[in-house]
Structure 1
Amino acid sequence: MATVYKSLSKTDRSKDGDKASGSKRNRQRVLILSSRGVTFRHRHLLNDIHSLLPHSRKDAKLDTKTKLYQLNELADLYNCNNVLFFEARKGKDLYVWMSKPPNGPTVKMHLQNLHTMEELHFTGNCLKGSRPILSFDAAFEKQAHLRVIKELFTHTFGVPKTSRKVKPFIDHVMGFTVADGKIWIRCYQINETDPGKQKPTENGESEYKLNSKESKGLETNLGLVEIGPRFVLTPIVILESSFGGPVIYENKEFVSPNQIRAELRLARAGKFNRRSEQGMERKIKRGDLGLNTEGGRKKERDALDNRVLFA
Structure 2
Amino acid sequence: MRRSSAIFGSRDCFGVSSLLPPSSRSHVVPPVKMAPVKRKRGGVEATPKKKVKLVENGEKKKNATEEQDTSKEITVPPPVSLGKWKNKERVLVFSSRGINFRTRHLMQDLRTMMPHAKADTKMDRKDKLFVVNEVCEIKNCNKCIFFEAKKKKDLYMWISNVPHGPSAKFLVQNLHTLAELKMTGNCLKGSRPLLSFDPNFDKEPHYALLKELFIQTFSTPQYHPRSQPFVDHVFTFTIADNRVWFRNYQIIEEDASLVEIGPRFVLNLIKIFQGSFGGPTLYENPHFQSPNTYRRLLRLSMSAKQKEKQMVKQIYLEKRSETKEAVTKDVTDDVFVTPAEERPLKVQLEAPEPKPSKKKKKLTELKKKKLLKRKGLR
Query: Which TM-score applies when normalising by structure 1?
Result: 0.71
Instruction: Tell me how far apart the structure 2 counterparts of residues 225 and 272 of structure 1 sit (CA, whole Å).
Output: 46
For residue 204 of structure 1, what is the aligned residue in structure 2?
A: none
Instruction: Tell me how far apart the structure 2 counterparts of residues 282 and 122 of structure 1 sit (CA, whole Å).
Output: 54
For residue 174 of structure 2, what is the aligned residue in structure 1?
A: 113
Percent identity of paired positions between Structure 1 and Structure 2: 49
Matched, 1:31 2:92: yes
Letter in 1 for 2:139: Y
The answer to whether the 8 Å contact 1:176/1:185 transfers is: yes
2:119 alignment partner, one of 58, 64, 74: 58
2:151 alignment partner, one of 72, 90, 98: 90
* 4+ long deviations beyond 2 Å: 266-284
1:24 Cα deviation from its structure 2 partner: 9.5
How large is the RMSD of aligned CA atoms in angstroms?
2.6
1:129 alignment partner, one of 165, 190, 199: 190
Q: What are the equivalent positions in structure 2 for 1:178-217 lying under 5 Å apart?
A: 178-193=239-254
Q: Secondary structure at the match of 2:94?
A: strand
Q: What are the equivalent positions in structure 2 for 1:62-77 lying under 5 Å apart?
A: 62-64=123-125, 67-77=128-138
Across the two proteins, how many residue pairs are aligned to each other? 240
Residues 138-185 of structure 1 deviation map (CA, whole Å, 9 limit, x = unaligned): 111100000110111011101101322011121111111111111111
For residue 267 of structure 2, what is the aligned residue in structure 1?
A: 233
Letter in 1 for 2:105: H
Instruction: Tell me how far apart the structure 2 counterparts of residues 95 and 278 of structure 1 sit (CA, whole Å).
Output: 42
Letter in 2 for 1:170: V
1:58 Cα deviation from its structure 2 partner: 1.2
For residue 369 of structure 2, what is the aligned residue in structure 1?
A: none
Instruction: Tell me how far apart the structure 1 counterparts of residues 92 and 299 of structure 2 sit (CA, whole Å).
Output: 38
Change over 3 Å in CA distance of 1:189–1:276 after alignment to 2: closer
Change over 3 Å in CA distance of 1:117–1:277 after alignment to 2: same
Instruction: Tell me how far apart the structure 1 counterparts of residues 173 and 258 of structure 2 sit (CA, whole Å).
Output: 24
1:233 Cα deviation from its structure 2 partner: 0.7
Instruction: Tell me how far apart the structure 1 counterparts of residues 309 and 190 of structure 2 sit (CA, whole Å).
Output: 61
Instruction: Tell me how far apart the structure 2 counterparts of residues 282 and 126 of structure 1 sit (CA, whole Å).
Output: 64
1:44 Cα deviation from its structure 2 partner: 0.8
Q: Could you list the runs of 5+ residues in structure 2 that have no partner in the other structure? A: 1-81, 319-324, 326-378
The answer to whether the 8 Å contact 1:69/1:243 transfers is: yes
For residue 248 of structure 1, what is the aligned residue in structure 2?
A: 282
The answer to whether the 8 Å contact 1:181/1:234 transfers is: yes
Instruction: Tell me how far apart the structure 1 counterparts of residues 305 and 238 of structure 2 sit (CA, whole Å).
Output: 40
For residue 257 of structure 2, what is the aligned residue in structure 1?
A: 223
The answer to whether the 8 Å contact 1:33/1:85 transfers is: yes
The answer to whether the 8 Å contact 1:122/1:226 transfers is: yes
Letter in 2 for 1:52: M
Instruction: Tell me how far apart the structure 2 counterparts of residues 63 and 148 of structure 1 sit (CA, whole Å).
Output: 30
Change over 3 Å in CA distance of 1:103–1:276 after alignment to 2: same
Query: Which TM-score applies when normalising by structure 2?
Result: 0.59
For residue 233 of structure 2, what is the aligned residue in structure 1?
A: 172
Instruction: Tell me how far apart the structure 1 counterparts of residues 215 and 263 of structure 2 sit (CA, whole Å).
Output: 18
CA radius of gyration, larger in: 2
Residues 99-130 of structure 1 deviation map (CA, whole Å, 9 limit, x = unaligned): 00110001001111111111111111111111
Letter in 1 for 2:237: F
The answer to whether the 8 Å contact 2:144/2:162 transfers is: yes
Matched, 1:163 2:224: yes
